[in-house]
Structure 1
Amino acid sequence: MRILVLDTIHGGAELAAALRGAGHEVDEVDVYRGRAGTPIEEALVRTYDLVTAPVHLDPDHPLLAEHGPAISHHEMVQRVLGERLPHPFIEITGARGKTTTAHALASLLPGPGILHTSTGTYRYPERELLWKKSITPASLIPAVREAERVGGWLVAEESLGVSGAGDVAVLTSPDDYPVAAGKKSAIAEKCRLVGRAAKAVLSPGIELPGGVRADSIVTFEGGRCRYAGFGVAGTFKNPLCTLAGYRTPLALAAATACVLGIDPSPLAAFAALPGRMAARREGDLLILDNANSGTNMATTVEAARYARELSGGCPLTLVIGEEAHAVCEGFSAENIRRTVAAVNPAATVYVGEGHEAPTLEAGLALARKMTPAGAVVLAVKTWR
């Protein structure tokens, strides 16, 4: 089959390589920079049996107008994976909470397995870091093959949707934003793709065809979580349940475990992840680290509240911004301004292009100098 793969910089090059390995004739086009693969002008005059494009590509791109309609990279990955799949295989997508949900769920699954997230890809139960890659659809391919090799499960975090090859799909948040040159809704694309999951779809309260709402299984009372569903029932207590940034991921992990027939009570011992409300002390200074790819106004306000609670109301320095537009769902200047106003810190360090600190590390170094005692909240949108 002659296949056209659009967008080499968001996993398209890896997807093209996998398709060639499967025996197809493939052209790949760098639609954003024009630096790699087949030039757009050449691809326009060739003929193809199938075209695949990321969900975030402008639907009016000339190559789609000429050769479309296209299937998404997610759907093409499902074709590449075929029937050789690990079980259970859980795919997780959403604007917020993906990584925490994935780590929480992986901590519950027995035996060998693979956890594939934006923080890295790990082999369980050793929790050995295998590699660090993106969470584009194509990055799922080596994770699936490794899970198959070890004869275990796979929990995979994916951006802007899921492949549909998994047994269960988890949508972590209803947050929406425009994609594809503003012509598509991110949540609509995610809902369309998670609806293709083989067994079940979990969501934090979104009504989806054939879906299971986590709040129909899990409830919270302060730091205590109660769960009952699919023949599994019980409780666990964890102070993270009082934090909005953890409550939903823990609910989703617990509900997914129930769907799989696994008791989620070990989540009582689940600890905060680096960059996700993790607190540490450096002498008289409390550092509350909430710098991650999902950082936004809501999570920053929650982080500041938590830091003030832990520090006894000490003066707070906020390190905030976006590292070089490294994340698809950005942290706009207006949202940053509104967030600073809502937090009302004693001091603020801005991070990003054109600011005093170009990186998260530089921002933290400045904050340490400004705040010898008290609290520092890291709220920089960045890949960790």
Structure 2
Amino acid sequence: TAAAAACLLGYNPDSLSGFTSVPGRLSLTRENGITVIDNSNSGTNRNTSVIAAEYARRTENAGIILVIGIESETVCEGFSKENVTSAIAEIKPECAVVVGDSLKGIVQEDFDNTSDNTIIYHADNLESGRKRALEIAGVSGNEVKQGDCGGKTVILCVKTWR
């Protein structure tokens, strides 16, 4: 990390305390007790989604709610249904909110014959997917309620322009 590098070079890392990470580049925030890891950017793909989930599992010992998909079909090389489905199957989140018109065909039955019991939801865009994931986690507005599944870490992996 930057703080460790500063210490090794003999600098005081206190100046890094106010640093805000770039949205969509594995930035980590907390909202009403829910950890949100934002990995949504134009380069999001299957591999970066799996890496974000690995990071989440090392950072938090909580179930995962994954927001995954593509906000616009014109973003770089796309994010195919097969790659999204493969990422969900490998990550094995408690719930997945699938974003994008081209991915509405991803349904619960795609995962019924696997060892995980991922619950599938859909959203039109990153912001509505994020909002839905926080509701599933039990946050509505500024209130914490009982959510639909046990996930308390929300990972945003939507291919989008930022």
Letter in 2 for 1:284: G
Matches within 5 A, 1:35-74: none
1:381 equivalenced with 2:159 (yes/no) = yes
- SS of residue paired to 1:348: strand
- What's the offset of the Cα at 1:305? 1.5
The structure 2 residue matched to 1:365, chosen from 120, 127, 131, is 131
Aligned to 1:141: none
User: Following the alignment from structure 1 to structure 2, what is the Cα–Cα distance between the partners of residues 272 and 306?
Assistant: 15
Partner deviation per Cα, 1:260-281 (whole Å, 9 max, x = no partner): xxxxx9xx94653111100100
- What's the offset of the Cα at 1:310? 2.1
Letter in 2 for 1:380: V
Q: 1:322, 1:331 within 8 Å by CA — same for their partners in 2?
A: yes
- What's the offset of the Cα at 1:369? 1.3
Aligned to 2:89: 341
User: Following the alignment from structure 1 to structure 2, what is the Cα–Cα distance between the partners of residues 291 and 365?
Assistant: 14
User: Following the alignment from structure 1 to structure 2, what is the Cα–Cα distance between the partners of residues 279 and 350?
Assistant: 21
- What's the offset of the Cα at 1:309? 2.2
Partner deviation per Cα, 1:20-71 (whole Å, 9 max, x = no partner): xxxxxxxxxxxxxxxxxxxxxxxxxxxxxxxxxxxxxxxxxxxxxxxxxxxx
Aligned to 1:306: 55
Partner deviation per Cα, 1:47-104 (whole Å, 9 max, x = no partner): xxxxxxxxxxxxxxxxxxxxxxxxxxxxxxxxxxxxxxxxxxxxxxxxxxxxxxxxxx
- SS of residue paired to 2:101: coil
- SS of residue paired to 1:350: strand
User: Following the alignment from structure 1 to structure 2, what is the Cα–Cα distance between the partners of residues 346 and 321?
Assistant: 16
What fraction of aligned residue pairs are identical, expressed as a percent? 41
| Cα distance change, pair 237–299 in 1 and its aligned pair in 2 (3 A) | farther
Matches within 5 A, 1:1-384: 223=1, 236-237=5-6, 269=16, 272-311=21-60, 313-353=61-101, 355=104, 356-372=122-138, 374-384=152-162
| Cα distance change, pair 279–353 in 1 and its aligned pair in 2 (3 A) | same
- SS of residue paired to 1:309: helix
Q: 2:72, 2:159 within 8 Å by CA — same for their partners in 1?
A: no
Aligned to 2:114: none
Q: 2:65, 2:133 within 8 Å by CA — same for their partners in 1?
A: yes
Which residues of structure 1 form unaligned runs of 5+?
1-222, 225-234, 239-264
TM-score (norm 1): 0.30
- SS of residue paired to 1:236: helix
Letter in 1 for 2:153: A
- SS of residue paired to 1:339: helix
- Alignment length (residue pairs): 127
Q: 1:326, 1:383 within 8 Å by CA — same for their partners in 2?
A: no
User: Following the alignment from structure 1 to structure 2, what is the Cα–Cα distance between the partners of residues 330 and 237?
Assistant: 38
User: Following the alignment from structure 2 to structure 1, what is the Cα–Cα distance between the partners of residues 44 and 156?
Assistant: 10
Q: 1:326, 1:382 within 8 Å by CA — same for their partners in 2?
A: no
| RMSD over equivalenced CA pairs, Å | 2.8
Partner deviation per Cα, 1:305-347 (whole Å, 9 max, x = no partner): 2122222x20110000001303121111111111111111111
User: Following the alignment from structure 1 to structure 2, what is the Cα–Cα distance between the partners of residues 357 and 237?
Assistant: 41
Higher relative contact order (CA 8 A, sep 6+): 2
Which residues of structure 2 form unaligned runs of 5+?
105-121, 139-150
User: Following the alignment from structure 2 to structure 1, what is the Cα–Cα distance between the partners of residues 5 and 154?
Assistant: 30
Following TM superposition, the consecutive aligned residue runs of length 4 or more in structure 1 with deviations greater than 3 angstroms are 268-271
Q: Which has the larger radius of gyration?
A: 1
Letter in 2 for 1:277: L
Q: 2:36, 2:155 within 8 Å by CA — same for their partners in 1?
A: yes
